[in-house]
Structure 1
């Protein structure tokens, strides 16, 4: 079993270019399934049949897993057995007919424009911390890049001539994302007055922490939580909130869906279409709040 799993994980790494964290999640899901198989007395991955797959799904429900967790585990196993069929290790995918539980549809949370302004105001100041935080916030809002993508940016990725940043996204796919004047000025100020004072060592990461090392995903989340607190907003920040805000504001102001898809680095348009529901809901609430006969 271990040999088949390792072959699959290597396939995800080499051919699919999945990130180490994504591969780790696949491995955890597969390990969980192996434990279930051993409990059922099944010692070979290729001996699994459709009824065993159904039994595993029932076991997940009995353990009261969230629908999103069940959905992810089933998806991981579908991919794994699809790989085994492709490698001619078995004839049929036992998970191909297993019902994929629908995830709860939640509209992405975002900041309204006046809330964004309060966030920027909370970063105004002349300390190294304020200058760095404003540059970070401006770039995240200007580009809609993921927190993980932001933490991986290096100095060479910023092009002030064309006002673009080279971003390495999921599956190591690269894309150029433009940024505006506000972000440009904030980043230049950070580079001219702050980064060289803070940085320690020879690393080329764009954003650094107050100890001089590269700013991590966790560090960025901590900064955003601190800014939220200083702006006296009641939101609970999550890593994608500025990304959601970027997409929602673009669509609300007339941007076309395909352009937003490209800027976000989404492989499928359906991922971007989520934000059209957000803008429609916002319009509905505005109508109900302001129309005399609503």
Structure 2
């Protein structure tokens, strides 16, 4: 089997994270285990679609969600595409497979009132951690960047001269987001405080822990969850919801969908269109209020 080559390809050529590579490895391993038990197959390189279909049926019968099944099949698809590319197989057994239907997952963004309560009414403190936490939340809301992108920001990525923030996105794709004046002011104050705790281990990362080490993703999640738990009853209070909030609020205010796509770093417009659900709800609300024929006499 070409497992090892495939995983090295994902990590070295596709620049996938270790977490993603591990997920692919687990999915392929799970399918191999099924094939060994059901069909006495020691390799999955030359299985047919009927065998894959049997695995799908087993997963569904075990109450694995369609979304999770599709993710596992996506791992298999990537593997067989790699085998085709490297000429280790001639036919992709999943070439005609259609993904299982899944309900559209719409996560509720924070309201403008909730954002105002956190950013304008909440006390963050004047110490380093208070300044850092405030800038993290402001940065998420002002740029819509992903959690991993924020964690890996460098001091030099914030360009005060050109008023931009350089964001390194998926597949190492760079994009530039405008540096808004109020973010510039907060960032400059934070950077002064950062100088006092910076160490050689900091490696110029923008956001640091109090001891000078680079901040990590779990801590960022905890920061967002802690502050927004004070003002919101939503079940999910995460950096991703802030990204969702950024996009929704821009669209509600009339921003162009293509512009939001570029700011979010999406490769296709379909990824951005999921955010139009909430903006359409707001549009219907305002339409109902403003249309003359809907006014009470």
TM-score of the pair, normalised by structure 2: 0.91
SS of the equivalent of 2:167 reads strand
Report deviation, 1:173.
Answer: 1.0
Partner of 1:10: 8
Structure 1: where are the runs of 5+ without partners?
none
The match for 1:281 is: 281
Residues 37-186 of structure 1: matches in 2 within 5 Å?
37-40=35-38, 41-120=40-119, 121-186=121-186
- 8 Å CA contact retained: 1:132, 1:190: yes
In the TM superposition, residue 212 of structure 1 has moved relative to its aligned partner by 2.5
Residue 124 of structure 1, CA deviation: 4.2
Q: Decide whether the 8 Å contact of 1:111 with 1:241 is kept in 2.
A: yes
**How far 1:200 sits from its partner (Å)?**
4.0
1:210 Cα shift?
Answer: 2.5
* Per-residue CA distance 1:188-217 (angstroms, 9 max, x = gap): 11112x212333444111011233321111
Q: Could you say which residue in structure 2 is the equivalent of 1:211?
A: 211
SS at match of 2:20: helix
RMSD of aligned alpha carbons: 1.9
Calculate the TM-score normalised by the size of structure 1.
Answer: 0.92
Cα distance in structure 2, aligned partners of 1:38 and 1:285:
56
Alpha-carbon contact 1:153-1:205 (below 8 Å) kept: yes
Q: Give SS of 1:175's match.
A: strand
Query: Which runs of 5 or more residues in structure 2 are unaligned?
Result: none
Q: Is 2:28 the counterpart of 1:30?
A: yes
Distance 2:195 2:154 in 1: 14
Give the direction of change, closer, same or farther, for the CA distance of 1:163–1:65 in structure 2 (3 Å limit). Answer: same
How many Å separate the matches in 1 of 2:123 and 2:163?
Answer: 22
How many angstroms does 1:125 deviate by?
A: 3.3
